A and B are shown apart, each in its own frame.
Chain A
């Protein structure tokens, strides 16, 4: 049997790789710089003494050349590596601890995105023959031996394709070189009309002192960060800085960390190099040992990647722990601005929880307060699990000297529930809004007897709305009734609606869930005996007036509590309002 090879459409493959692997045409600059730097590293390994440099020269008519004085290529190496996609001179040593940046040997393909032809002149440091290689995106290439004198190294010539001229302009190139290569350890020179500019800077941010880094960030992003956190991961050979943002950021915002691989920019919008809770900092990080993906715009998310991420996260934690001691004022400011991020951290980490919890602010029945102040005054705390429940009780709670914390915001419930783990003397209870009113002062036996018929009438009128009535004496007096529901109220309405609508089989399913898996919640309407109107309603001998007052108390309470009024409830409200209007007009002084 004769084996056959697959036929590959080379042009198609080159097009696919060059146009679809990279997200931005400008990456050809990165690939070329990288080849240059790697070639210089390779020549140094040969033991040759020289000062490595890469020169990028801009010519008129949208052409450029990139020259390095690195190892150059022999004819054999050209055949082997340039003309074979997927190979690279660096491949064999991929797993060794190496100084190379590149890996894939597909880097040159990025040039076909912006240019119709790649011309390359090279002389290897190993043999003296100067060679010229020309490759086209259809997969054809030529190799020519050059007679003229060429110095050791490689020069790549490119001419812009239509629509890509911009990438060959000086301003654009300088921007791209600065973006990708400004921290490379080998000088990069940009030349136009004989003017030379060094594009690399001597000290990358991850080697700067705290003050230098502060000034650097301020210049780069136009705002002064609150502080600089040094980052280091020994396992991942990563170093960097995280700067604490001077303004609050939303949890939903995408993070944009700048990450360098062996001093070359890999991505300026990497989201996941720090743990997800660290959204109050932006980072600039350089790493030696994480593996990039083929497009070299992100890292492979392997175990090492997560280990590095954890180590970097640990740096931020340590920093905060030390800061609490060394600079209490700054610590306070960071907590104040970045409470959302720090609350997320505290939920995840017990040590940080203990450190932060006293500094966090919470919405309470006494207004917004720091936890330290909350626990100074109150050793017994109620937490409302939802914003809705908090709103139901907040105003009344304060009047009864009850400390209720709103646990409806992200993490606040968890944070409050864990409180006894660090403050043993404090008790924290999750508020049961239905039983909340039972905490108020009970009436005397005589008063209770007096109010009984009124409550019975109320139960009779509101029974159809799953609402039960009670009466207590509470502050403030201007609130006639307190209406409480619990979290399951809406669900129950929904279940009833489903049961009514559903086919026989599913009506049975819904009934089983409702009856066998849940207890039916009743809303509670608590009348305030401290309120003069309520007293008048109780004392009134007019049955119709009593009924209208109950209906109006109830519907008013629904409206004030932002509850949805059903058609029947709306009708009830209208009816009782009109009755009162009528009574007003019929009153003797109006009639006269």
Chain B
């Protein structure tokens, strides 16, 4: 069994397809749980958590984490506290994206994380940072503002996100409260290539498109979209793919079709409501644009992904989030998206 485990591990290293890699790691976990040491089972799960994010199967990260957390709690001396808490932070970044979780459960997870930060002597900086995202996703701008202040004031330590990620979120936050120019200024070092990490600048590219168009900076938007076209790849960036799918649906249909055909299966496979919702909204805009002309070419999954289906899925997800959040913020969110769609069309096709 050890042999099979090692063989799988070797093959996982060279795998470029994130989904396939995830499956291999799952088999490895199965073997490790039954036949190998606790240490093996723990370490392969740590590896699995990154792979789950890369494969766009973020919910699976939570499943692996749950096991690791329990082992850690049972014998804290045996495992790296920093590594565990680092992944816990990821959990906070993912859990609110899934409307299946109630606010009560999410609140308990946040609180548990906060307690552990205090217990192990970490700054609450990442806690507040994650709060900002969570609050914004519910449209609670005032609460997000409070959390943002606490986030910026809390000291940076080894648990803080890398500077590129933080900078990216500072910018995103400023966009959300409609400080567009300040947001762009904040993100400039990232766009100039001075700050980067595994997900930056790919994520930043998608964040600046809307503000740039709002400010009428079409040329700059085109430059960014071109860069994104080169760098944003794989199921990890579902929401980002959506942003550029929209953009190209209005500016360059051929490119949009390519993005759609390449990414639709990620969208269909995704179980993460927030990401899927945003992506499908973009797909709907794309399909509406696509349908304006008679086309001979067939799109991928054309039997399945129709406008009616999209309307149903989108409404279902919006409803799920509204129910979970106890408000109707998603309706507002969708209206805003529609406005953006109109803005796009006005900017590029002013007839």
Which A residues form the contact surface with B (CB < 8 A)? 251-252, 301, 303, 306, 350, 386, 388, 408, 410, 414, 417-418, 420-421, 487, 490-491, 493-495, 497-499, 501-503, 505-510, 512-514, 516-518, 562, 564, 566-567
Contact = CB atoms under 8 A, between A and B. Distances in A.
A502 B70 contact: yes
The interface centre, meaning the residue of A251, A252, A512, A562 with most chain B CB atoms within 10 A of its CB, is: A512
Interface residues of B, number: 47
Given A494-B63, A506-B62, 20 more contacts: A251-B14, A252-B14, A417-B265, A417-B300, A490-B23, A490-B27, A490-B30, A494-B26, A497-B67, A498-B66, A505-B108, A506-B65, A506-B69, A509-B101, A510-B62, A513-B62, A517-B59, A518-B271, A564-B35, A567-B34
A502 B67 contact: yes
Contact of A251 (B16, B60, B73, B265): B16
B1 interface: yes
B66 A410 contact: no
Nearest to A517: B271
A251 B34 CA distance: 34
Contacts of A514: 63
B223 A508 contact: no
Contacts of A494: 26, 29-30, 33, 63-64, 67
28 contacts: A251-B16, A301-B193, A350-B258, A386-B20, A388-B23, A410-B15, A418-B261, A490-B30, A493-B30, A494-B26, A494-B67, A498-B63, A503-B69, A505-B105, A506-B62, A506-B69, A506-B70, A508-B105, A509-B62, A509-B66, A509-B109, A512-B105, A513-B60, A513-B100, A517-B98, A562-B4, A564-B31, A567-B34
Contacts of B105: 505, 508-509, 512
Contact of A507 (B26, B66, B98, B109): B66
Nearest to A349: B258
A232 to B, nearest CB: 21
Nearest to B296: A424
Interface in B267-304: 271, 297-298, 300
Nearest to B258: A350
A1 B100 CA distance: 65
B63 A512 contact: no
A181 to B, nearest CB: 32
A69 B15 CA distance: 56
B205 to A, nearest CB: 14
A491 B223 CA distance: 41
B109 A513 contact: no
List of 3 A-B pairs having minimum Cβ-Cβ separation, nearest first? A490-B26, A506-B66, A502-B66
A258 B180 CA distance: 44
Interface string B70-100: 1101000000000000000000000100101
Contacts of B100: 512-513, 516-517
B96 to A, nearest CB: 12
Contacts of B112: 505
B336 interface: no
A503 B70 contact: yes
A514 B63 CA distance: 9
Contacts of B33: 494, 497
B252 interface: no
Contacts of A507: 66
Given A420-B298, A493-B30, A501 B23 contact: no
B146 interface: no
A414 B233 CA distance: 14
Contacts of B69: 502-503, 506
A387 to B, nearest CB: 8
A143 B192 CA distance: 43
Interface in B174-192: none
A418 B98 contact: no
A421 B298 contact: yes
Contacts of B346: none
A87 B109 CA distance: 58
Contacts of A252: 14
A491 B61 CA distance: 11
Contacts of A564: 1, 27, 30-31, 34-35
